[in-house]
Every structure is written in C-alpha cells, then in structure tokens.
Amino acid sequence: MDKNALQPGSTIGIIGGGQLGRMLAMAAARLGYKTVILEPQTDCPAAQTANSQIIAAYDDAEALAKLASACDVITYEFENVPVHAADSLAQTALVLPPPAALEISQDRFTEKQFLNESGIETAPWRLVDDEESLIAALGALGGRGILKTRRLGYDGKGQVRLDSLDEAQARSALEAINHAPAILEGLVAFEREVSVIAARDRIGNVAIFDIAENVHRDGILATSTVPATISAQTAQAARSAAEKLLHALDYVGVLGLEFFVLEDGTLLANEFAPRVHNSGHWTEAACAISQFEQHIRAVAGLPLGNTNRHSDCIMQNLIGDDVKSVPAILSEPDAVLQLYGKKEARPGRKMGHVTRIRPRSPHQA
C-alpha cells in the first residue's frame, strides 16, 4: 500500500457533476472519505450524494484554487475537462488520473495514434481536414467509412457514415460536422462490441474486471452483458491490451477501453475513456468491489480490490421514458437499481440503470 494513502476523513475532489460523479461520491463515502464536486449546474446528480459542491465553470481559476485547497486528491468523471484546467490544478494538487490521459483521449487523432503506438490495433483511419483529404481518405479506405469529429463526439454524436467516393456526399458530410477537424475510420464489420474496465494503482499494480459485451442503440449504450460471448484467448487479448495502455499512460485510476470483435476473434480498439465507464456499472451488482470503489481506492492510494465476479449479469441503461418501468423493476427479486436523481426524463437522457444478476454459470473464460 502507498505510504501516502489518504486517511479516513480526507477529501476527494471530483470535476464533473453527472451520474458517474454521483456513484464515485457514494463509493468514497463508504471508504470514509468526503467529496467536493466542481460543476456549474446546481443540484446535479453528483452534488446530491457528495458533501459539497463548488458551483463554477470547470476552468474558473478561483474555483480551481478553492478545490485544490479543499482536497487531498482530485479526480474527474468526464473526459472533456479542459486540459489547461487539469494542468493548472496539477501544479498545486495531486490530480489523478494524470491530465495527459485526458489530453490524449480528448482528440480521436491523438487517441488512435497513442493506441497504435502502444501496440493496440484499431480500425484503419486517416486524418481529414477538408474535402480533398476526405476524398483521399475514402479512396485509401475502400470508399466507405465513418467520419468522426476529432473532438467532443460521444454517444454517436458528430459522426457521419459514408459509402461512396461521391463528392456531393463528401461535401454534405463535412457540412454535417460543421467542417470540424475529423478522422475517417474504416467501417468495421464487427460481430460484437466488448469493453474492458481496468484499474492501475499508484504503485503500478493492475486489476482488470471481466469483459462485458455491449449493445448500443442510436449510438448510446443500451446493455452490457457479462460474461461476453468471446473465447478465452480473445478475453485475454482484451485484458493484455488494457494492461499495456494503463502502463503506457502511467495511469492511476479506472479506465474503460472499448473494442470491436471481428468474426475471427480479432480485436480492434475503438476508444478509451480515462474514467469509470457506463459499461462497468454491472460491477456494483456482480462483484464485491465495484468500478467506483476501485477508482477511489486507486486515486486514494489504497490497494486495489479483487475483481472476481460472483454472478452473471445484464446491465440495462434506463434512458428517457425507460424509467417508467421502475415500479416493475422494484418488484424483481434479482434486480439492482440505481437512479441518478434527475427530475426530467428527456429522450436520450440516462436516468438510471438496472443490473439483473443470476448465479454464475460454471466453466467460463
């Protein structure tokens, strides 16, 4: 254990006020820590479970100074924290995961480049700045691909599919992303999508949860099922890639790495998130130690927890009007429910999730 591990009663700062911050604050409380949320929106999901909130923009200098002086370590719950804010905080406070992980993951170009340089295979991709480079990229990738903005794309936003070398189609795709700097990614005929939730502590130990199989609807995660229907070799390859990435980033905390799985079991990394991840929510119901506790342990300097899974499970996101099924879920005997304290259910808005567990079947990878 790190000799500078946080003592009970210490304070952890969390930048971002969404549901991930909410569940991190709950896990921190269980380990005897206090939490402070930095978030401009009042009554946000995280502030409802944390000890206090600093209501200010993520890069407000005065608010950052206040956060630094109030906290023993500072972490974040979303990857679009302004890098200059994280860097300036890091001059006076301990910021984990390291801000460099944020910086790399915020730009699909640096992200893919880092994955490839770390020996982790991705779909083929090309940089796109204008119509000429898009047409050239389409030519190189077989006339088909997904145009993705380099920055600020998530849950399928900022993406356009292209299926020919047609110039008019290329122009309208660039129009649709407001001519933002982009990459073109080869279209992957994947059989399934999986993700790994992995953690690294302050002294370099790694712990990895079982692989989840993910289904997206309208670009948003709908379900995560564990175990995934992949071979033991593919599961091991996913774990090794995550471990490589954690060490390459000199990472501390929990990270989510998403993959496409091809028919022959080949894995292509899609993206990574330097934070706890929606496809790891199942851990709170099917493991003794959740991804949230694991993250708090890592950044606080405590030893990582055991990642063994005691149950098989399916985690389902409750999106928009899905929350109407809560009364029925409450009567299910093996359903673990989390609601995020959001008052208004809007289409596409994640309102909560439910993990249905069943006894673990034998002989699993």
CA distance 50 to 34: 7
**Judged by CB under 6 A, does residue 213 bind ligand AMP?**
no
What CA–CA distances, in Å, run from 12 to 52, 93, 185?
11, 11, 38
Burial class (CB in 10 A: 0-12, 13-18, 19+), 118: middle
CA distance 93 to 87: 10
Strands 311-319 and 350-359: antiparallel
The two most distant CA atoms of the chain are separated, in Å, by 62
Identified binder of ligand AMP from the candidate list 216, 244, 349, 360, rule CB under 6 A: 216
**Judged by CB under 6 A, does residue 290 bind ligand AMP?**
no
Nearer to ligand AMP, 96 or 211 (CB): 211
Known binding residue 187? Answer is yes
CA distance 76 to 70: 15
| Smallest separation, CB 241 to ligand AMP (Å) | 16
Known binding residue 156? Answer is yes
CA distance 40 to 35: 16
| Smallest separation, CB 234 to ligand AMP (Å) | 17
What are φ and ψ of residue 159, in 5° steps? -130, 140
**Judged by CB under 6 A, does residue 187 bind ligand AMP?**
yes
Identified binder of ligand AMP from the candidate list 156, 204, 265, 348, rule CB under 6 A: 156
**Judged by CB under 6 A, does residue 123 bind ligand AMP?**
yes
| Smallest separation, CB 153 to ligand AMP (Å) | 6
Binding residues, as ranges, are: 108, 148, 153-159, 185-188, 193, 216, 270-271
Q: Which residues bind ligand AMP (CB under 6 A)?
A: 123, 146, 153, 156, 185, 187-188, 193, 216, 219, 270-271
Binding residues for ATP, as ranges, are: 108, 148, 153-159, 185-188, 193, 216, 270-271
